[in-house]
Amino acid sequence: MALTLTEKILLAHTDRDELTPGEVVLVRCDVVMANDVSGPVAFRAMKKMGAERVFDPSKVVMVADHFMPAKDARSAGLLKSLKDWSDEQGVTYYGQGRGGIEHTLLAEEGWVTPGIVLAGGDSHTCTHGALGAFGTGLGSTDIAACLALGEFWQAVPETILVRLTGDRSKYVTGKDVILAVIGRIGVAGGTNQVLEFTGEGAAGLSMDERLAVANMAVEAGSETGLFAADEVTGKYLEGRARRPWTAEASDPDAHFSGVLDIDLSALAPLVSKPHSPGNVVPVSDATGTKIDQVYIGNCSNGTMTDLRQTAEMLRGHKVHADTRAIIVPATQDIYRRAMAEGLLDIFVEAGAIVSTPTCGACFGGHNGVMGPGENALTTTNRNFKGRMGSGEAGVFLANAYVAAAAAVAGEIVEPHEVH
Amino acid sequence: MIIDGTAVVIEGDNIDTDVLYPGSFLNIDDPDAMKPYLFEGLDPGIRDRLEPSCVLVVGDNFGSGSSREHVPLAMKAWGVGCVLGHSFARIFHRNCINLGLPVVTSPQAAAAAVAGERIHIDTDEGAIEVSDERYEIAPLPEFMAEMIDSGGLVEWVRGRLKA
């Protein structure tokens, strides 16, 4: 029987011989992850379940990233509870100065390999589909069950095949690919389904860009955003992978619930306007919008690729006098590499500030939240009302070229106008 | 399970969990302490309309976005009896089920609901009554029904660990 990549992965993680779309099965986890927001709530639930120990400490990873460094005493309490619990259970813990933003970090640290199931207490766990893994976001009670039993329940999803063709023009990145998809199918268009990216356009995306694409699959309602493992994946995992792996792909005659064709050569840089990630227009339709703060970072676009694109735009320029710019490398390792390459110097010289890795202002937590009447242009993944602070602020989502160009111009412009 | 409560109607589609429970209050892990921030980014006035076992009536793709369980935890802490909607985002939907907060998908019943009127839901019968009209609810997959009957995922896991 012909199977999708998702069905192959799930089959290998259940006791079933076959799967029917929609049926609920128990799926075994290879990695269970939580952070300082989802973790402590999960620990309470785990206690109520009567579970004293995790199912397998070698498969559990805790990451301090949302309110790290602590924004106030209450956040410090959560961060402490995350560390204390991790020490007690003997699981891997990435704390302040040792890790960074969970999704970028787990990929970087080799926890994610093709074919695994990764259950994460964060909706952007779909990011790990970039490596051919079934990474999916769950709530804290689900995570508690995963910690206790190593399993979660899952309705077998169907797959929408996204076929990417054509060569991208300059300034069109992975961010634009996923914004184009969300613009086409809408914010609920992928609900209870997986997005699988394929075609020469998918093969041509670097791992950093695949992470950016998969990261926003949940913004279309999807369970994960998959890329079958290929040479790019193999190269990325060299010296990194924590376990042996084999490449698998959907069978050519597998059943897909939908097919979406995107011609990358027809794509221009895009921007998602307030207050929905599905509110996607070409940058040219949003030019002239005044921007009070540019934010480059987060689990979708805080990679070396994004920082290099930012540096390319900021080199020899100054951030506009009426605009603030915050650049947040996603992990400690990216921070150091950006420093070694001289990128951080370009940012600071231009008048941007460089933050330590954190989820920070992306979710309105701390470290650069927005005030009433202000506009932000960010490389993050959500622009819901109030997402970055005030409900009276507007958030525009775009790639790093567009964001850096806006930092220089003080308003939304096409990147070539600055460069 | 039988739910009998007053309808509290929340207008709009694609209501995300950020407006339902803004990010700046995520540094709270005690459900009772989450109550004052439910609906804070949408309309804090909704909190005044909540009463024990009320039925929240919502639109399409309700609960989209973040996986924050603070939303259904705060709803439970307020005593919300059920969420009845046109359709739900995946993680919010499963969070409700896991917490034993009944969540019913029925576009017809949700459209018929009137704020302040009684709604009667019988999950065993698979029926919902709104303004004297009766609507059928599609049965849940066996596993989900079993878990809800046991009181939610916490109780289900507790049973598994004892077995």
Does residue A152 share a domain with residue A88?
yes
Burial class (CB within 10 angstroms; exposed 0-12, middle 13-18, buried 19+) of A18:
exposed
Does A145 reside within a domain?
Answer: yes
How far apart CA A121 and CA A117 sit, in angstroms, is 13
A145 contacts in chain B (CB < 8 Å): 98, 153, 156-157
CA distance A222 to chain B (A): 8
> What number is the average pLDDT over the span A57-78?
98
* A299 touching chain B per CB within 8 A: no
Amino acid at A162: V
Q: Which residues of A touch B98 (CB under 8 A)?
A: 139, 141-142, 145
Statement to judge: residues A115 and A168 lie in one domain: yes
- Closest of A157, A209, A115 to residue A19, by C-alpha: A157
A42-49 average pLDDT score: 98
Are A176 and A186 spatial neighbours (Cβ–Cβ below 8 Å)? Answer: no
Task: Indicate if A14 and A111 belong to the same structural domain.
Answer: yes
Q: Based on the domain organization, do A134 and A190 belong to the same domain?
A: yes
| Same domain for A313 and A290 | yes
Q: Which domain holds residue A54?
A: 5-262
Q: Based on the domain organization, do A254 and A223 belong to the same domain?
A: yes
Q: CA–CA separation, A97 vs A64, rounded Å? A: 10
| CATH code where residue A305 lies | 3.30.499.10
Count of CB pairs separated by less than 8 Å, A with B: 149
Identify the pLDDT of residue B138.
Answer: 86
* Position A419 confidence tier, pLDDT thresholds 50, 70, 90: confident
A369 lies within 8 A of chain B by CB: yes
Q: What is the pLDDT of residues A249-267, one digit of tens each?
A: 999 999 999 999 999 999 9
Whether residue A390 is contained in a domain is answered as: yes
How many domains does chain A fold into?
A: 2
Q: Look up the pTM and report it.
A: 0.98
Q: Chain B within 8 Å of A76 (Cβ-Cβ)? A: no
Within chain B, which residues score under 50 in pLDDT?
none
Residue A267 lies in a domain: no
Which chain A residue is nearest to residue B18, measuring alpha carbons?
Answer: A387
Q: Does residue A87 share a domain with residue A223?
A: yes
Q: Are residues A300 and A256 in the same domain?
A: no
Q: What is the pLDDT of residues A358-415, one digit of tens each?
A: 999 999 999 999 999 999 999 999 999 999 999 999 999 999 999 999 999 999 999 9
Pick from A48-57, A168-177, A337-346, B116-125: least confident: B116-125
With respect to residue A165, please indicate whether it lies within any of the assigned structural domains. yes
Instruction: Work out the average pLDDT over A223-245.
Output: 98
**Per-residue tokens: A233:** 């994946």
Whether residue A1 has pLDDT greater than 90: no
- Is the domain of A113 the same as that of A258? yes
Gap between the Cα atoms of A71 and A67, Å rounded: 6
Residue A173 lies in a domain: yes
Q: Is residue B104 within 8 Å of residue B82, measured between CB atoms?
A: yes
> CB B24 to CB A41 under 8 A?
no
CB–CB contact B66 A75 (8 Å): no
pLDDT tens, residue by residue, B121-137: 998 889 999 988 999 99
Which domains does chain B show, CATH number per domain? Answer: 2-162 (3.20.19.10)
Do A85 and A196 lie in one domain? The reply is yes
A103 plus A23 within the same structural domain: yes
- Quick one: A255 and A298 in the same domain? no
DSSP per-residue letters across A163-176: EEESPPPTT--HHH
Structural element, H or E, at residue B108: helix B107-112
Q: Which of A243, A262, A281 is the last residue of a domain?
A: A262
Q: What is the ipTM score, two decimals?
A: 0.98
pLDDT of residue A130 exceeding 90, the answer is yes
Question: What pLDDT is attached to residue A253?
Answer: 97
* Residue A224: inside a domain: yes
DSSP string, A19-57: --TT-EEEEE-SEEEEETTHHHHHHHHHHHHT--S-S-G
Cβ A188–B61 below 8 Å, yes or no? yes
pLDDT tier at A283 (50, 70, 90 boundaries)?
very high
